[in-house]
A and B are shown apart, each in its own frame.
Chain A
């Protein structure tokens, strides 16, 4: 792969010969420039030539090779990435070219994991070429390797969502749940994986789950919460599931309370786990009976006073809302 990208790219030394017919255009920062970067000579050579090519709108092989050098020098230059795509389309976007570009993007992406342009370039190429089973799976495989390094890489998770939506292959949704299970098994506090679970299980929609699926998901959330009740992620997932399907609330409000036994067994203060209590408060509020609201109110007060004092103002606000709730129903 490294060999491929080497031939795709120019070296600065090749520029004078390959672009001997081109008059480079220096950057015009205006009469009193500020924030001027003390560019290195190679950068100036590459970009002065790039400017001339952009001005002439020359969509050629040599222009393509120049864009590769320019994005290597600054992977965040979205103008050059855009022009690269323009060239590729002009020259004919073949599978081979896309493969080469994905390799280029991968090489650059390695040291620039948070770079928008690189992730977007991959998407744009695949969108232009069209996604099939094989291509989608290969890209999912690539993203999985990046996520191995950084399991919470935001753009990579977004790209996974885009891929699965766009590929439109029913099997991918199920496989994604499997992938998410592995990520959560690796680190049950990986919130990005939990978010992806929601996405996969809802198949990218905002429609509520069926009651059966909702129960499965709620069971899963409780199971993971039992591993470590201090972990916020499974609790918020549970709340999301129950809000969508409130027929589940009685059972899961009890299930949440039962997780306290895990804390007791581990010799911890079972009343002091803020994330567990917070989930119980939300569940009791959804339950809505006078008894539940009263219990939620007591929990808010203890959170404010003892167990989650940094959020005192919030818990006091929740308490007053619950009190209003009680007085209007009575």
Chain B
């Protein structure tokens, strides 16, 4: 399966991965009655599907909606002390699970939504007079990553007026209150070379640029002062490497997570065409794994379900390079995706799903909230920006996410409209 002439550790690791995925690529026609019954029993195979028709495999497999929603809603209660390593990432956990549930069409109840708003409010950090951001927990310093996560959560809740006018209004009011303080705080993080730090005196990398322009665009503070400028754009461009993808800082290795951040940031700033698009395109398509169907994060590394979104989302964004405006909000017909949707969706549904709920990196890894979010987000992009090419047509669809912001497009649209009007 792995083509090589000279074996190295990379080859061994890749062969191990192929071996671990192989059993999950079930050939339904070769399964016995007991095995089929088992698959139906755990909900992976649709009860009404045929195991003998020519499209049996492609159209039988289901997404385990309830199990995944159940798993992710654990985050809305109390979680075990083993999560202490994520104690500085609580807004992240809330975003991964809230957005994950949203994609499954299963937002938690109003009481929980209120709890999320309150908890996020407790994570607000006044950096100084009228400036601030969200920290990873109460009493923690403002940091770009939890700020991004918190704003997206509040955005999801603010646009859930169908569930509760009251909590939606609460969320909107809070976002309105923090718009200006966020802008002020963001400006303090900018470096002379156009880079942004993740927090006061913190590390510089392209994630900071992305999280900032994403929030700024949604809350309509992007065109203020020098938040976005040629130097800001040029720092991001400098992160593109000879391989065609982007690294975290200029010189660092091309990597899926940072590539997504760079591509989405450039697109939001309307400057994606200033990157080397042919090189970027080539790098992105080479990241889809021939055997597994999912994406790797870097050349010569292993498949990982989370890259379904980081790489898949970047592919979706780059595919719209010749289109004006926000092609996902306008009813523009989207250009085809350069990856194979069928194989990606197959990887997510067969290898990344944990039958007990939640999704994972690869079969040998345990499920977690982060991988649940990004496998589902990647599935969404591939289904809606591409096409539904694997899975039961009525039992594998997720809601449509916006490839730049990664919240549902109807929510993104409402938020943009809400903050577009002058105060």
Contacts and interface: CB of A to CB of B under 8 A. Distances in A.
Interface stretch (B176-184, B240-248, B412-420): B240-248
A161 B300 contact: no
Given A157-B252, A187-B8, A187-B10, A233 B300 contact: yes
B300 A231 contact: yes
A70 to B, nearest CB: 10
Nearest to B289: A310
B299 interface: yes
Interface in B94-147: 94, 111-112, 114-116, 118-119, 121-122, 135-141, 143
Interface residues of A, number: 76
Nearest to B298: A191
Contact of B5 (A227, A241, A310, A313): A227
A312 B6 CA distance: 27
B76 interface: yes
Contacts of B301: 152, 191
Contacts of A28: 122, 138-139
Interface stretch (B82-90, B185-193, B216-224, B375-383): B82-90
Interface string A299-320: 0000000000011111001000
A1 to B, nearest CB: 23
Contacts of B143: 78
B255 interface: yes
Nearest to A51: B139
B343 A310 contact: yes
Contact of A204 (B5, B79, B136, B251): B251
A14 interface: no
B39 interface: no
A206 interface: yes
B251 A199 contact: yes
Interface stretch (A36-44, A91-99, A245-253): A36-44
Contacts of B209: none
A314 B285 contact: yes
Interface in A54-87: 54, 73-79, 82, 85
- The majority secondary structure among interface residues of chain A is helix
Contacts of A179: none
Nearest to B94: A35
A27 B139 contact: yes
A124 B201 contact: yes
Contact of B10 (A29, A51, A189, A199): A189
Contact of B139 (A33, A54, A239): A54
B253 interface: yes
A192 interface: yes
B299 to A, nearest CB: 4
B267 interface: no
B300 A232 contact: yes
A74 B139 contact: no
Interface string A211-224: 00000000000000
A78 B4 contact: no
A266 interface: yes
Contact of B253 (A34, A154, A232): A154
A227 B140 CA distance: 51
B5 A228 contact: yes
A186 B9 CA distance: 9
A34 B116 contact: yes
B88 A79 contact: yes
Contacts of A282: 282
A158 B248 contact: yes
A158 B203 CA distance: 11
A9 interface: no
A38 B140 contact: no
A195 B286 contact: no
A76 B89 contact: yes
Given A198-B241, A228-B4, A233-B299, A79 B10 contact: no
Given A54-B139, A198-B241, A228-B6, A34 B77 contact: yes
Contacts of B9: 151, 187
Contacts of A188: 6, 8
Chain A CB within 10 A, most for which of B90, B139, B201, B288 = B139
Nearest to A55: B139
A170 interface: no
A228 B143 CA distance: 44
B281 A314 contact: yes
Interface in B231-258: 238, 241-244, 247-255
A74 B90 CA distance: 13
A137 interface: no
A296 to B, nearest CB: 13
B288 A310 contact: yes
A269 to B, nearest CB: 10
B90 A35 contact: yes
Interface in A18-34: 25, 27-34
A12 interface: no
A75 B85 contact: yes
B85 A76 contact: yes
A236 B243 contact: yes
B90 A189 contact: no
B11 A157 contact: no
A163 B244 CA distance: 24
A173 interface: no
Contacts of A263: 5
Interface in A133-149: none
A78 B8 CA distance: 37
Interface in B284-331: 285-286, 288, 290, 298-301
Contacts of A273: 3
Contact of B79 (A32, A38, A74, A191): A38
Nearest to A315: B285
Contact of A157 (B83, B89, B253): B253
A165 B182 CA distance: 33
Given A37-B83, A190-B10, A310-B290, A79 B135 contact: yes
A155 B11 CA distance: 23
Contact of B78 (A36, A152, A241, A262): A36
B409 interface: no
B199 interface: yes
Interface of B: 3-6, 8-11, 75-81, 83-90, 93-94, 111-112, 114-116, 118-119, 121-122, 135-141, 143, 198-203, 238, 241-244, 247-255, 281-282, 285-286, 288, 290, 298-301, 336-340, 343
17 contacts: A34-B77, A37-B78, A38-B81, A54-B139, A79-B136, A152-B301, A189-B10, A190-B10, A191-B253, A192-B298, A195-B254, A198-B241, A231-B4, A268-B5, A310-B340, A310-B343, A313-B338
Given A27-B138, A239-B242, A273-B3, 9 more contacts: A28-B139, A35-B76, A38-B81, A39-B81, A40-B84, A152-B298, A161-B249, A236-B299, A313-B336
